[in-house]
Amino acid sequence: MTQAASPTPNTVTHTATNTMADIETSHASASAVTDTTVTLCSSEAEKQNAQIRSQFPALHQMLDGYPLCYLDTAATSQKPQMVLDAMAQFYANDNANVHRAAHQLSARSTLSYEKVRDQLQQFLKAERREEIIFSHGTTESINLVAFGLTAHVSAGDIILIDAAAHHANIVPWQELAKRTGAVIKPIPLDQTCRLDVSAYKTLLELKPKIVALCHVSNALGTVNPVAQLVQLAKKQGAITLVDGAQAVAHLTLDVTEIGCDFYVFSGHKMYGPTGIGVLYGRFDLLDTLAPLLTGGEMIKRVSFEATEFGSLPNRLEAGTPPIAEVIGLGAAITFLQTELTPQVQAYEAELVNYLQSQLRALGEVHLYGAFDDNIGVVAFNLADEHHQDVGILLDQQGVAVRCGHHCAMPLMQSLNLKGCCRASIGIYTNKDDIDRFVAALVSVKDLLL
């Protein structure tokens, strides 16, 4: 998994080949960065950005006389026209249930549906197409794993969870612990809001059964060196899951390079539709998961005496799947593979740096976990003002940001915060969005302070 290097100084580039020492050193240097003067990319990059932006119809609207400034991509991304077209096309021409019927429509829809599994295998660089399971989102994917592993876990087993995790990567493990008597231990963050690698190494000496990590924090945008963290966990024999919900729209992924047992994400955060998610699992382990859902589609033979389950991937996809959403996801993957070039990744990185530097320059703004290698997200509060008030006043000027605990209450507690505002960018965000957001925040500041 790589993020394209940004031309700005002090940028930490994460690659799967960084050693732990590199990571620790780069973390130290990143935390020493105070302010930087950020110059945005060339007009070429701006032109490319404008071309991408033109593909997103929802971005071109006015709100109360203001042009929409959408900085809530981490919650859900806007959708390009090709995703909308693919879904409409499916319903208009091919709509039929998959895998079941002898007729042509069903054959077409099955072909389109299964083609997306092939696309995902290639997108993630998975070894086998059967390692790709369709779910309804990241939350369901983690539940599939946490439920499916029940028989693997015994009383007293340890489950390590990243302290920056989204609730979706906490609660299913707590439920697993309730069922089995396993013990949850958080992996703490250090003072700079990064995963504390030395505390992690100490926790790994306890030989945990499962290690649940996030790739990119949804609340802060900080990036974990997941390949190295997974490698350390594997040495101790742990099963590893990486939540890639906030990584997948920004980074180039390679699950084999990361080496994790499970990697999960949602379609709607990567320019695809809602209601579709992905569970990648290493075949041998995936094949041992007990199915969370049972019923049609996932069986080989059923009688009133007993049922024999089918094989992967169907065994973990009971019932009629979200077919149109899978097809929309396929279009989103094609979109990302076409548009998310290293230049575009560099532009995104520069926008995040620019946003941070503009907020620092404003004064009276607290930034949380802000590094120049953050992905997509800037978390902040305006002085001691309530995040919700700031969000509402920004909305009155057409600026959409997220305010609250960001489904990361344990993280907020460790930061001693009730919540914060989060501005998050996507492939379509431009400098004008950032400037309009900062100007709106200045007027909120003038009003409140």
Active site members = 407
Tokens for 160, please give them.
């390590």
CA distance 3 to 215: 12
Subset of 33-92 contacting ligand PLP (CB under 6 A):
none
Bridge partners (DSSP) of residue 423 are 378
Question: Which CB atom, from 134 or from 445, has the smaller least distance to ligand PLP?
Answer: 134
Tokens for 122, please give them.
């290639």
Smallest distance, Å, CB 246 to ligand PLP? 5
Sequence-distant (6+) residues with CB within 8 A of 21 are none
Smallest distance, Å, CB 447 to ligand PLP? 30
Q: How many residues does the chain have?
A: 449
CA distance 100 to 320: 10
240 sits near ligand PLP (criterion: CB under 6 A): no
* Count of alpha carbons within 13 angstroms of residue 23, beta-carbon side: 20
Question: Which CB atom, from 158 or from 407, has the smaller least distance to ligand PLP?
Answer: 407
Instruction: Report how many residues bind ligand PLP under the rule CB under 6 A.
Output: 13
Smallest distance, Å, CB 71 to ligand PLP? 15
Q: Are 329 and 132 in contact (CB under 8 A)?
A: no
Residue owning tokens 């991304």 = 77
Question: Which CB atom, from 136 or from 209, has the smaller least distance to ligand PLP?
Answer: 136
Question: Which CB atom, from 30 or from 242, has the smaller least distance to ligand PLP?
Answer: 242
CA distance 188 to 52: 39
Q: Binding marks (x or -) toward ligand PLP, 385..414, rule CB under 6 A?
A: ----------------------x-------
Smallest distance, Å, CB 44 to ligand PLP? 31
Question: Which CB atom, from 94 or from 261, has the smaller least distance to ligand PLP?
Answer: 261
Please give the torsion angle defined by the CA atoms of residues 179, 185, 186 and 190, in that order, rounded to the nearest 10 degrees: -170
Among residues 12, 23, 159, 168, the one that binds ligand PLP under rule CB under 6 A: 168
Q: Binding marks (x or -) toward ligand PLP, 242..281, rule CB under 6 A?
A: -x-xx-------------------x---------------
Q: Are 326 and 137 in contact (CB under 8 A)?
A: no
Smallest distance, Å, CB 448 to ligand PLP? 28
**Helix/strand/coil for 417:** coil
CA distance 376 to 327: 26
Q: Alpha helix (H) ranges present in 205-341?
A: 226-235, 255-258, 283-286, 323-339
Judged by CB under 6 A, the stretch of 36-44, 51-59, 161-169, 418-426 that binds ligand PLP is 161-169
Smallest distance, Å, CB 15 to ligand PLP? 21
Tokens for 154, please give them.
């015994």
Q: What is the DSSP string of 418-449?
A: S-EEEEE--TT--HHHHHHHHHHHHHHHHHH-
Question: Comparing C-alpha atoms, which of 68, 17, 152 is closest to residue 440?
Answer: 68
Question: Which CB atom, from 220 or from 382, has the smaller least distance to ligand PLP?
Answer: 220
Residue type present at position 22? D
Smallest distance, Å, CB 35 to ligand PLP? 28
424 sits near ligand PLP (criterion: CB under 6 A): no
Q: Binding marks (x or -) toward ligand PLP, 105..144, rule CB under 6 A?
A: --------------------------------xxx-----
Question: Which CB atom, from 33 or from 273, has the smaller least distance to ligand PLP?
Answer: 273
Judged by CB under 6 A, the stretch of 192-200, 202-210, 240-248, 294-302 that binds ligand PLP is 240-248
Residue owning tokens 């075949």 = 283
Subset of 202-221 contacting ligand PLP (CB under 6 A):
214, 218
Bridge partners (DSSP) of residue 24 are none
Cα 409 versus chain centre, distance: 17
Question: Which CB atom, from 144 or from 440, has the smaller least distance to ligand PLP?
Answer: 144
166 sits near ligand PLP (criterion: CB under 6 A): yes
Smallest distance, Å, CB 164 to ligand PLP? 9
Question: Comparing C-alpha atoms, which of 338, 448, 346 is closest to residue 391?
Answer: 448
Residue 153's CB is within 10 A of a number of other CB atoms, namely: 21
Binding site for ligand PLP (CB under 6 A): 137-139, 166, 168-169, 214, 218, 243, 245-246, 266, 407
